[in-house]
Structure 1
Amino acid sequence: MNIIITITVTALVVLYAGLFKAKKALLPITLLGLLTSLAFVATGWNGNHNSYGMMQMDNFALAFTGITVLGTILIFLLTQNYFAENSENIAEYFTLILFSLAGIVIMVSYTNMSMLFIGVEIMSVSLYILAGIRKNNFASNEAALKYFLMGAFSTGFLLFGITLIYGATGSFDLGVINQYLVANYKTISPMFYPGIILLMVGLCFKIGAAPFHFWTPDVYEGAPTLITTFMSTIVKTAGFAAFLRLFADTFAPLHDFWMPPLMVIVCLTLLIGNVTALFQKNFKRMLAYSSISHAGYLLFSLITLTANSANNVLVYAAAYTFATIIAFAVLILVKQKTGNDHFDSFNGLAKRNPFTALILTIAMLSLAGIPLTAGFIGKYLMFLNVMSEYQIYLVAFAILNALVGFYYYFRVIVAMYFKEGNEMELQTPVQYQFVLVFSALITIFLGVYPAVILNLI
């Protein structure tokens, strides 16, 4: 609870600092609040797992909170030189991201489905505004409208599912619902089954899994790049943590019922995400479809439930988060120089800025799943998890899709090293250098020593 209070208070202080035109104080205040939240994560680790009625800060919640808070710190560091000098809504950017993060912490620590809904809505409402915060930009307005309409639609599924589960069990509490399933395994209410499917659909909307992904590319492309970075990493990680807590724990007794439709979703997500990414000429849009394909790999953790499912998701989420932050950080720098985010903008980047090109190469290799990177370990764990149940055909299908992913990730590397481009210098600010180096080191470190976080939860 200290983490949520700290983030919320930080958001309010930042908002008031913005009212008094203290622009230079916004980032230090924000970083101080987030570092304090990280300290609470560290001090609470392996503690008493304090329960706050409808929330519980156990190791699962603390681990995912730590990843999301750390990722948010790196994203805030990317605000150096991001805003125009006459920009008046910097405080609003910061405050809304912090409020969204507060909702995310609720999402990863809920033990009651009403708190899941509250966390999702706190996160989503902030993101609706952030997606359209550039009021004079048509693409930003379109992204906000699409995100709002699809978000409201998915919330309807989520609420209807929660309602049916409550009607069947008489409780929103995850522990009570799980006890009901165990005690009444052969006489479960008919309302419970459609409730599970509706909850699955609602959460698949939030994480951008196919066939509920159609909002993702347009919203990611139209929203400000900084917000897209937050949505594709921190928000997606929180969605999977919420998915995992509900289905891997509470609904585990009915795994045989909800696993087949989930497998269909996994296959569609991998196929649509990877194949569609092949045809993109826009780097930002390619990353959007890439995020869809990674949602498919992350869902592997629910196909076969094991004691390591949560750890596997944590490793994969960490690998994906840091690599994607690198990709978007470089995109921001390139777009500031060239004015567009097409693949051609990266032509000859290795000559202009070999440091940035090297870091982006590491990120692309990790996202592709090349050995000695965290992305390889993440994919390996997911495939190993499914193979434990001898679902070899699913693994073969996923590996084929991963090979397709090699093409569009290596396309960026080829553009940087083997294509001629304009020779203008690409300046890398100090804060960007820190984010790039830190993220790259984490990506390589987790690829070589995955055991550091492999058994955290």
Structure 2
Amino acid sequence: MNTLIIISVLPIVILYLGLYKVKSALLPVTIVGLLAAMGCAIAEWTTATYAKPIYSGMMLFDHFSIVFSVITIASTILILLLSKDYFERISDHVAEYYAVILFSLAGIIVMLSYHNLVMLFIGIEIMSVSLYILAGIKKKDFASNEAALKYFLMGAFSTGFLLFGITLVYGATGSFNLSVIRDWSIEHSRPIDPLFFSGILLMIVGLCFKVGAAPFHFWTPDVYDGSPTLITAFMSTVVKSAGFAAFLRLFATCFNPVSDLWIPTLLVITVITLFIGNITALYQQSFKRMLAFSSISHAGYMLFAVVALGDGSARAVFVYATAYSIASIAAFAVLILVQQQSGNDNFDSFNGLAKKNPFLALVLTIAMLSLAGIPLTAGFIGKFYMFSSALSQFQIGLSIVAVINAIISIYYYFRVIVAMYFYSSERNELAVPPYFKFVLGFSALVTIVIGVYPYWISSLI
């Protein structure tokens, strides 16, 4: 667990650098520390084959934890590369922002590696409290303050459901340990204990709040819209990937023996999430708000892996989360540059971008095609794995609903492409900093490579 130790110590180092006014070292030290943490995770790959729970059965750092830790750390590095001079425009105390992001990432690593429901709760709370702060870091911005307040209130509300569900599961099984809960559910699958079943349903509600699945999504559009764009990118990618990894680990390990009882509930939530996310995104005039509603629809697609639990569920979530994260980071990177020039995030702000900045237009086009699931992109491969997992469990109706929603999503993703290439506008050429060029180029390249050669990533898990 060297990865968790490094990420826990790194924010303290960053705070000391901020205390001694070494601003120029903040970003390089953060990136180097995260690379070291990612290297430690990769180094444990060989031993993870025979991984056993550690810390008295509280944590389990297996292949599942490693691959999701690597993708969340890599996504965080890409997002932080976009932060060059970004936080300086908000406040003079830049070290605090890097530190809070890293504390949130430490909670995420705990979420990915838990083997005890107590650690799941601790990981979610470390992540959530940090995000409440990050959503409101623009202290003089009313929208940012509103986002932080809404996120805090809804987050506390959902935590109550989750904690009550954990309590009921403990009351039925007598343990927080995932292995013990799994064994208990196998022995007592029929007749089902009402206490145990109620606990599962409450945990579904709590976790659906965290990942932004409908009808527990009400906080998502306003929080994503009001938060600083860089923080929105972090919440939309790293946090969502971690949330689904934690969701899948819990249900695949503990509740699979009684899946026929809770799958109908989750199936309804999945269908509602797909339709609400996609249909509402059609009517948005703000690109950032459109991405917020599209993230809800992508939550619906990732729920496929939980609804259709099987041997390929972990692989499906990993590939989809990777594809979605890379494409979203590229989209938010372009949005940050456009916002700096135009001051808003309407679709009209992208008019004529292809003529002045063909590189930005090309990368954003690749990102939109990937999010829409067009072939030869990573997004298509992600949807292919999700649909395959659903069809393998004979969820034909759900697959048809998903295809319909995928067709709907093409409209609003192509709106920005049409604006860039077919609408004209008087605009100046955008200056693209070197860090942005690297992140955009890397994201576009990875999106295409995964779309053409998916095996190299799907074989990891």
Band of TM-score, shorter chain: over 0.9
Which residue in 1 is equivalent to 2:46? 46
Q: Deviations over 1:23-47 (max 9, x none)?
A: 1010011001100011011101131
Check conservation: 1:51, 1:57, Cα contact below 8 A. yes
Quick check: 1:11 aligned with 2:11? yes
1:145 pairs with 2:149: yes
Report the CA distance between 1:91 and its aligned residue.
0.8
Task: Give me the identity figure in percent.
Answer: 63
- Residue matched to 1:357: 361
Matched residue, 2:27: 27
Shift of 1:431: 0.2
Query: Which residue of 1 is the match for residue 164 of structure 2?
Result: 160
- Letter matched to residue 261 of structure 2: F
Distance of 1:121 and 1:423 partners within structure 2? 44
Match of 2:243 in 1: 239
State the partner residue of 1:405: 409
Inter-partner Cα distance in structure 2 for 1:269 and 1:167: 31
Equivalent in the alignment of 2:435: 431
Pairing partner for 2:344 from 337, 340, 351: 340
CA distance in 1, matches of 2:189, 2:88: 60
> Structure 2 residue aligned with 1:88, among 89, 92, 109?
92
Cα 1:420–1:301 shift into 2, 3 Å: same
Q: Which residue of 2 aligns with 1:203?
A: 207
Contact 2:79 2:234 in 1 (8 A): yes
How large is the RMSD of aligned CA atoms in angstroms?
Answer: 1.0
Per-residue CA deviations over 1:187-245 (Å, capped at 9, x if unaligned) read 44320001000000000000000000000000000001110000000000000000000
Q: CA shift at 1:285, angstroms?
A: 0.3
Give 1:456 shift.
1.5
CA distance in 2, matches of 1:3, 1:335: 35
- The one-letter amino acid of 1:332's match is I
Q: Secondary structure at the match of 1:186?
A: coil
Residue in structure 1 matched with residue 133 of structure 2 by the alignment: 129
Counterpart-to-counterpart distance in 1, 2:277 and 2:243: 18
Give, in angstroms, the shift of residue 50 of structure 1.
5.1
Instruction: Compute the displacement of 1:455 (Å).
Output: 2.5
In structure 2, what is the Cα distance between the partners aligned to 1:50 and 1:18? 39
Contact 1:273 1:290 in 2 (8 A): yes
Looking at structure 2, the residues matched to 79 and 304 of structure 1 have their Cα atoms a distance apart, in angstroms, of: 38
Q: Secondary structure at the match of 1:423?
A: coil
Task: Give the residue type in structure 1 aligned to 2:12.
Answer: L
More deviation, 414-423/163-172: 414-423
1:302 to partner: Cα distance: 1.4
Q: Does 1:285 pair with 2:289?
A: yes
- 1:69-84 residue pairs with structure 2 within 5 A? 69-84=73-88
What is the aligned counterpart of 1:102 among 98, 101, 106?
106
Question: Comparing 336-345 with 43-52, which one deviates more in the overlay?
Answer: 43-52
Per mean C-alpha deviation after superposition, the further-off stretch among 49-58 and 194-203 is: 49-58
Structure-2 separation of matches of 1:386 and 1:114: 31
Give 2:67's aligned residue.
Answer: 63
Asked whether the 8 Å contact 1:311–1:453 carries over to 2, the reply is: no
Unaligned runs of at least 5 residues, structure 2: none
> Which residue of structure 1 aligns with residue 455 of structure 2?
451
Amino acid at match of 2:36: T
Query: Contact 1:210 / 1:269 at 8 angstroms: preserved in 2?
Result: yes
- Compute the displacement of 1:444 (Å): 0.7
Q: In the alignment, which residue of structure 1 is the partner of 2:384?
A: 380
CA contact 1:104–1:120 (8 Å) conserved in 2: yes
Partner Cα separation in structure 2 for residue 157 and residue 113 of structure 1:
14
Map of 1:264 onto structure 2: 268
Q: TM-score, length-normalised on structure 2? A: 0.98
